[in-house]
Chain A
Amino acid sequence: MWLPIIGLIVGIIFGSIFTFSIPVMYAKYMGVALLAGLDSVLGGVRSIMEDSFDGPILLTGFFTNILLAAFLAYVGDRLGVELYLAAVFAFGVRLFHNLAAIRRIILNKFNHHL
């Protein structure tokens, strides 16, 4: 139960200690990738709660989402179409969707315990 949270904290500490300098022009892609990553994390949490968790799906989903989101934003910039907005929108909607599902599951469990 606590392992993922510890992992998250360790990751944040790691990222804070090592100073990576990202070129300014890639900062936007990084942000989109981050959003995709957050979506994957929440999707994983949700699948655990729904007892439909699959490790390989989560891992592949996480990496492909991140890379695809950043790549799409980059291609969009090359083509002059603000494609990163599509990524932000899609992952944003899914993020809230996952959050809502998690909330519902927790509420249901809580009600059952009562």
Chain B
Amino acid sequence: MKHYKWQIPITIVCLIFGVLFAIQLQFQSTKPVSNLRNQDLVNLIKELEISSFSLEDEIDNLRLEITSFQEEQASGEIALRQLQRDLSSLRDLTGLTEQKGPGVFFTIDDNRAGADAAKAASLENFRPDDYIVHYKNVLYLVNELRQVAGAVSVNNQRIVASTDIRCVGTVILINTTRLAPPYEIRAIGDSELLFQTITGSYEYAYLQSLGFPIKVTKEQELTVPAFRGSYRYNFAQAIVEEGDN
């Protein structure tokens, strides 16, 4: 039995090989990319490590920068204080802050008494326009005050550089707010000077001569509100000189 002799060992070997082969095949088919994925993960970790190294470098650099800034701060604080002073005075000048101080307070109302009297006298000749306060009356009075006052308001509307006093039908528009009589005008400044400016103005004399109820008082303490609108210049740009910084 020459054939019998070799058949047993090779059969055993084939059997074991078959088992191993099947196991490996089974395993590889369930997890075919496990090794690949492992390698991917390893690469990912390496990349992340590299990026974290560079981020650490960046942190170091930023810390150095912070230190140098902190050293500069001592000298910077002086400059900052100066800038803040400038800023607050600019805010005061542009009417963004509430102001307090001595000044004059005066009210002006429509001439109702005159209107009633004129209506009673002759209805045909009665012109209601002659007895109401017009926007230009307020505008002229405010203009008189602005040249000497630090801060002016009309019915709690602060008068600033962009303020507009306009006529809109039966009321007056100031700072996009509609106001109706009586108009209360507050002006902060030298109260004596303001008083004389007002009472000596042409507009004051004119209104008084027409019989409008107008009352001016000197005040020790007045409060003028802040401007609540917005300054918006979309097109105008400041010209910055080279080297002006």
Residue numbers of A with Cβ under 8 A of B are 1, 3-16, 19-22, 24, 27-28, 30-31, 33-34, 37-38, 40-41, 44-45, 48, 53, 55-56, 58-59, 62, 66
Contact = CB atoms under 8 A, between A and B. Distances in A.
B20 A37 contact: yes
Contacts of B35: 27-28
Interface residues of B, number: 29
A14 B19 CA distance: 6
B20 A34 contact: yes
Interface in B9-25: 9-25
B9 A55 contact: yes
A40 B27 CA distance: 22
Interface of B: 3, 5-28, 31, 34-35, 38
A45 B10 contact: yes
B100 to A, nearest CB: 80
A69 to B, nearest CB: 12
B26 A16 contact: yes
B10 A10 contact: no
Given A12-B22, A33-B20, A41 B3 contact: no
Contacts of A19: 26
A8 B14 contact: yes
B18 A4 contact: no
Given A20-B23, A27-B34, 12 more contacts: A1-B3, A4-B7, A8-B15, A9-B18, A11-B15, A11-B20, A24-B34, A24-B38, A41-B14, A55-B5, A59-B12, A62-B16
